[in-house]
Structure 1
Amino acid sequence: MTDELRGLLRESAEAHLPDRARMLARVERGTARRGAARGLRDRARTGPLTWPKIVLATLATAGTLTVSALTVVAVVHTPDPPRQPAAAAPSAAPSAVDRTAPPTAGSRTEDGPLWSDGSVDPHSNTYWAQSNVTLKTRKPLTALVVELRIALTAGVKDTGSWRTLPAEDFELSAREEGGFLVYRWTLKPGRNVPSGEHVFAGQYDHATGGRDAKDDAYRIDAAGAGEGGAAVWGGFA
């Protein structure tokens, strides 16, 4: 092999040796890219909520609003608390409410600030019924007794009651007396009834078939602060 050929081979081999400076630069660029990618992943973990988390948060908020709405509805129309059917009926102050007139003596649906109506609820059926007593008052009341009398026709049995006013403002009794199932709501001392429309309802089972409510009756006695008493009564045609 001639010296010229050896020189050519050496030059060719040296041309294939790695460039150390170039390799170090490539390593540094790769390290920088990995660091940037890691930073992006860290920011993703600590950054804004991803869409599944946003959906879950939205559902949780909607659930809270639904529970609140149901609570408000329940306050507007809630059943009366359990009571002892045999308990003695409470009475209002005699000076505030005069209950000498019988509840079935004709029909008087207006007196002073009071207006009233009795009706069988349209959702009643062949096995069960609800009787509604509606009271409208143009002035606030400081004494109130609402009495609903359901004639004890075949199968009549108490199944519950409710009122649109707060339950804690009233004493309630439900018992059988004189051939009637009698519901009585009595306003507690120190409580008030605002002006407006209010409903008191009694619920009961009865024998299968249509029930005649001609013997049912209601009576409302009330008084306002510093005023004389007023009374209204009627039936359930």
Structure 2
Amino acid sequence: MTGPRRDPDGELRARLREAAGVHRPDRARILARVERGRAAEDQGAARPRLPDWVRVAGATAAVAGVLVAGGCAVASVVRDDAPARHPVAAPPGSRETGSREAGPLRSSGAVDPHSNEFWAQSNITLGTSTALTALTVELRVAQTGSVTSTGAWRSLPADDFTFTLDERDGFLVYRWTLKAGRTVPAGEWMFAGQYNHERGGRDAGGDRYSAAATAASGPLAVRGGFTPGG
């Protein structure tokens, strides 16, 4: 008569249950293994993990870069939208260092740089961009003491003008008048009055000049004072 059959699988399961009931896991060993595993993963990584403060700094720099780029773009837009600035021309007839402009006629006055302590010459430079059919130029030299005329000249033909010299109202007055039927061509021309004066430097602040002309566009006029000689 045979005895009962053994159940190897059943015995194994029973022993495993018994062992599981008395087993107590070693927490310290488990944690140590976990840490070793993490260390191995960090060493084998292709790119090391950066510290938190480095990542924060990098993110801050990136944001700053975006803000700077945006600021530059805004500045560029503002600059491009600003209205262009253009030089403003002086209005006709305004005086600039003894010079006046009136349409096609312009002028300036200056004491000749070759003047000396006894003698001087006052130069009137007259420029015109169109032909003139009438012209009268007058130079008034203030009587500052012993002022006497020593001559006058002009760069245009002498036969085209009538010249007069007077002394009135405290001025020595030189006047050139274009003769009828004559014309002054476009260009730059000079009229000069020469005179003696008391020894020493003479103040030309009270001297004046004026010119009245006629062109195809109508009457023109300029006037001004004198800058010191060079």
TM-score category (smaller protein): 0.5 to 0.7
| Unaligned runs of at least 5 residues, structure 2 | 1-97
Aligned-partner Cα distance in 1 for 2:136–2:169: 19
- Residue by residue over 1:172-230, the C-alpha shift from the partner in whole angstroms, topping out at 9 and shown as x without a partner, is 001101110000000000000000000000000000000000000000111113x3101
Aligned-partner Cα distance in 1 for 2:220–2:215: 9
Q: CA deviation at 1:108?
A: 6.5
Aligned-partner Cα distance in 1 for 2:193–2:173: 9
Normalising to structure 2: TM-score of the pair?
0.55
Normalising to structure 1: TM-score of the pair?
0.54
Match of 2:150 among 143, 159, 177: 159
Letter of the 2:175 partner, please give it. Answer: R
Match of 1:230 among 212, 220, 227: 220
RMSD: 1.0
The count of aligned residue pairs is 130
Q: Is 1:205–2:205 an aligned residue pair?
A: no
Partner of 1:127: 118
Aligned-partner Cα distance in 2 for 1:138–1:228: 14
Letter of the 1:189 partner, please give it. Answer: A
Aligned-partner Cα distance in 2 for 1:121–1:153: 18
Any residues of structure 2 matched to 1:181-196 within 5 Å, and which?
Answer: 181-196=172-187
Partner of 2:82: none
Report the secondary structure of 2:185's partner residue.
coil
Letter of the 1:228 partner, please give it. Answer: G
Letter of the 1:176 partner, please give it. Answer: E
Report the secondary structure of 2:159's partner residue.
helix
Aligned-partner Cα distance in 2 for 1:129–1:160: 11
Aligned-partner Cα distance in 1 for 2:209–2:120: 16
Q: CA deviation at 1:155?
A: 1.0
Report the secondary structure of 1:168's partner residue.
helix
Aligned-partner Cα distance in 2 for 1:108–1:205: 25
Q: Which structure 1 residue ranges, 4+ long, deviate > 6 Å from structure 2? A: none
Of all paired residues, the percent bearing the same amino acid is 60
